[in-house]
Amino acid sequence: MEGVHPLFNEIKSLNEECGVFGVFGAPDASQLTYLGLHNLQHRGQEGAGIVSSDGEHLYQHRDRGLLSDAFADPNDLKKLVGDSAIGHVRYSTTGRNSIQNVQPFLFHFLDGDVALAHNGNLVNAVSLRNKLEKQGAIFQSSSDTEILIHLIRNHIKDGFISALKQSLNEVHGGFAFLLLQKDRMIAALDPNGIRPLCIGELDNGAYVVSSETCSLDIIGAKFVRDVQPGELIIIDRDGMKIDHFTKNTHLAICSMEYIYFARPDSIIHGVTVHNARKRMGRLLAREAPADVDMVIGVPNSSLSAASGYAEELGLPYEMGLVKNQYVARTFIQPTQALREKSVKLKLSAVRGVVAGKKIAVIDDSIVRGTTSKQIVKMLKDAGAKEVHLRIASPPFRFPCFYGIDISTRSELLAAHYSVEEMRKIIGADSLGFLSIDSLIKAIDVPDRGDSSGLTVAYFNGKYPTKLDDYEAGYLASLNAQERRQRKELSNESL
């Protein structure tokens, strides 16, 4: 029913938009996709859907909520017959959490149906939609994903693949698209490869595409390769064909995938996420050591960095915070007040560990600072003598326009305050961050040439693409010095 859903209140304000998964040519394709999405659930909890194909027709089921809510009835999966399927888990950035926005989208045409799933964000979505609407286009969702299908239909006279390639050159930003037709699955990655996307293979030779490698493991698929920037992967009965829609590419994968989003067991461009995080912890220890009795991490995403930090300093690594494994429904609006209180629904301090101790607590990032403030308070309430906060990434000062739910600067603590000001607001005894250079060194993307291979724009404001629709608003949010730098940057390369 399209009624009111209780709000899940998240203590973390960094939210990834989505995860995609698809399989072509395997029996029980929709069940495999369900399992694949289960291991991508961390990438989106507000909606889930699967479209399958039996070679003739496409079948769709989607609903709001977690995968287990969206597919609450065993029949939901059973009706998705066929040996190919694509699926999607979604985090909604806009507040418009209606079922119309849950992917994969399924479009019916007289010349054949198309299903579409997307991870990322387009920076020229508004201008494209504006143009398309003026030409008579009617959109059924408020998602920018839908723009691609309108563009394709505009070029459809040239054939589907050609139309798709033209369309992929018209959209800007960070995107990993997955499409399903009755007899074909297609994947495409933006020219900077901002979002992760990989290919796997099942024992029977069926190909799998997924946002992260952890989804290959759960279905027993072996890793084949990462999708490269600008590539178009076409999988049909004849096998896999690697095509491209542009050669003007430059790898700049989102550093936040390594810092926070991706699962620790995923391997992105050859780098195991847990290992990268542990190295961030080690380098952080060198740059910002702390004189403490023990090191603790904020579960779960900061545990890897915390253990690296402890090892580097030869300090005990302890369990000072416990995470409740169960989701709490809080029947309230996600206001700032609630966010503060709700930390307790997720985290508890272990009094018997921290009481009377000097503690270094490692977190992966600071966004608004409210969680950090609550964690420090919680530890002190539990008897900690000193709490030294260490962040295993640089200060988060600039918004993300490629799929993280932070598109204005107003909410970013580090955009407005110095480190010492932040420390005071948070109430920690000391505060330290990882440097950008160390972050790049910790991740160490292979074969990246003379660039970092990463998008670190959140920390230094250097975006790998033009900002299009966001440019004006972004400029207005900058201070004088930042604006000057931005203009210089624009004159140079963008």
Which stretches does DSSP call E strand in 139-247?
Answer: 173-181, 184-189, 198-201, 207-210, 222-226, 231-236, 239-244
Give the nearest distance from C-beta 217 to its own copies in angstroms: 6
Restricting to residues 295-314, name those near its own copies by CB under 8 A: 300, 303-304, 307, 311
Q: Among 146-154, 177-185, 388-396, 464-472, which window interacts with its own copies (CB under 8 A)?
A: 146-154
Helix (H) or strand (E) holding 118: strand 114-122
153 binds its own copies (CB under 8 A): yes
DSSP label at residue 404: B
In whole angstroms, give the CA distance from residue 70 to residue 76.
9
Let me know if 254 is a catalytic residue.
Answer: no
In single-letter form, the type of residue at position 189 comes to L
For residue 107, what are the contacts with CB-CB under 8 A and spacing of at least 6? 113, 114, 115, 116, 149
User: Per this entry, what is the length of the chain?
Assistant: 494
**Rounded to the nearest whole angstrom, what is the least distance from the CB of residue 368 to its own copies in the complex?**
22
Residue 386 C-beta: closest distance to its own copies, Å: 20
Q: Which of 90, 274, 339, 368 binds its own copies (CB under 8 A)?
A: 274
Asked whether position 418 contacts its own copies by CB under 8 A, the answer is no
Q: Which stretch binds its own copies (CB under 8 A): 232-240, 328-336, 356-364, 387-395?
A: 328-336
Q: Which is nearer to its own copies, 116 or 426 (CB)?
A: 116
41 Cβ contact list (under 8 Å, min separation 6): 19, 66, 67, 89
Question: In the block, which residue shows the tokens 């964000």?
Answer: 121
* Other CB atoms within 10 Å distance of the CB of residue 478: 17
Q: Indicate whether 150 belongs to the interface with its own copies (CB under 8 A).
A: yes
Asked if residue 161 binds its own copies (CB under 8 A), the reply is: no
User: Among residues 56, 237, 248, 331, which is the contact residue for its own copies, using CB under 8 A?
Assistant: 331
* Residue 86 or 412 with smaller CB distance to its own copies: 86
352 binds its own copies (CB under 8 A): yes
Whole-number Å distance between alpha carbons of 153 and 13: 36
Confirm or reject binding of residue 139 to its own copies (CB under 8 A).
Answer: yes
Question: Count H helices, E strands: the chain?
Answer: 18, 24
Q: How far apart are CA 321 and CA 37, in angstroms?
A: 28
**Based on CB atoms, which residue is closest to its own copies, 108 or 237?**
108
Between the alpha carbon of residue 424 and those of residues 87, 138, 215, 392, the distances in Å are: 45, 51, 41, 19
148-83-184 Cα angle (round to 5): 35
* Residue 225 engages its own copies in binding (rule: CB under 8 A): no
**386 burial type by CB count under 10 A (0-12 exposed, 13-18 middle, 19+ buried):** middle
Which of 242, 327, 472, 489: binder of its own copies (CB under 8 A)? 327
Tokens for 187, please give them: 């994947």
Of positions 25, 32, 38, 363, contacts its own copies by CB under 8 A = 38
Residues 389-408 that bind its own copies (CB under 8 A): none
Question: Residues 57, 133, 424, 494: which binds its own copies (CB under 8 A)?
Answer: 133
Assess whether the previous peptide bond of 15 is cis (omega < 30° from 0). Answer: no
Nearer to its own copies, 191 or 308 (CB): 308
State yes or no: residue 6 binds its own copies (CB under 8 A).
Answer: yes
Residue 429 among known ligand-binding residues: no
User: Which two tokens mark 121?
Assistant: 């964000």
Q: Which of residues 428-447 bind its own copies (CB under 8 A)?
A: none
Residues 6+ apart with CB under 8 A from 99: 2, 47, 62, 63, 64
* 166 forms part of the interface with its own copies (CB under 8 A): no
Helix axes 273-287, 436-443, angle to 10 degrees: 150
Q: x/- binding map, residues 43-82, to its own copies, per CB under 8 A?
A: --x---------------xxx--xxx--xxxxxxx-x---
Task: Write down the residue that tokens 């005071």 correspond to.
Answer: 424
What span, in angstroms and rounded, lies between the C-alpha atoms of 472 and 475? 5
Site string for its own copies, 76-115 (x = CB under 8 A): xx-x-------------------x-------xxxxx----
Q: Which of residues 180-219 bind its own copies (CB under 8 A)?
A: 214, 217-218
365 assigned ligand-binding residue: no
The CA distances from residue 426 to 62, 158, 342, 432, in Å, are 41, 58, 16, 12
The nearer residue to its own copies, 66 or 414, going by C-beta atoms, is: 66
Return the C-alpha torsion angle 258, 20, 9, 369, nearest 10: 20
Only one of the segments 149-157, 178-186, 189-197, 359-367 lies at the binding site for its own copies (rule: CB under 8 A); that segment is: 149-157
Is 333 near its own copies (CB under 8 A)? Answer: no
* 350 counts as binding its own copies under rule CB under 8 A: yes
Tell me the closest approach of the beta carbon of residue 134 to its own copies, in angstroms.
8
Q: Which residues 354-373 are close enough to bind its own copies by CB under 8 A? A: none
CA–CA separation, 126 and 355 (whole Å): 53
Structure tokens at 461: 């404001």
Please select the residue that binds its own copies; options are 329, 424, 484, 487, rule is CB under 8 A: 329
The verdict on whether residue 363 carries a ligand-binding annotation is: yes
Does residue 337 interact with its own copies by CB under 8 A? no
Query: How big is the site for its own copies, counted in residues (CB under 8 A)?
Result: 84
Pick between residue 91 and residue 402 the one whose CB is nearest to its own copies.
91
- Binding-site residue numbers for Mg(2+) are 301, 363-364
Which residues form the catalytic set?
A: 18
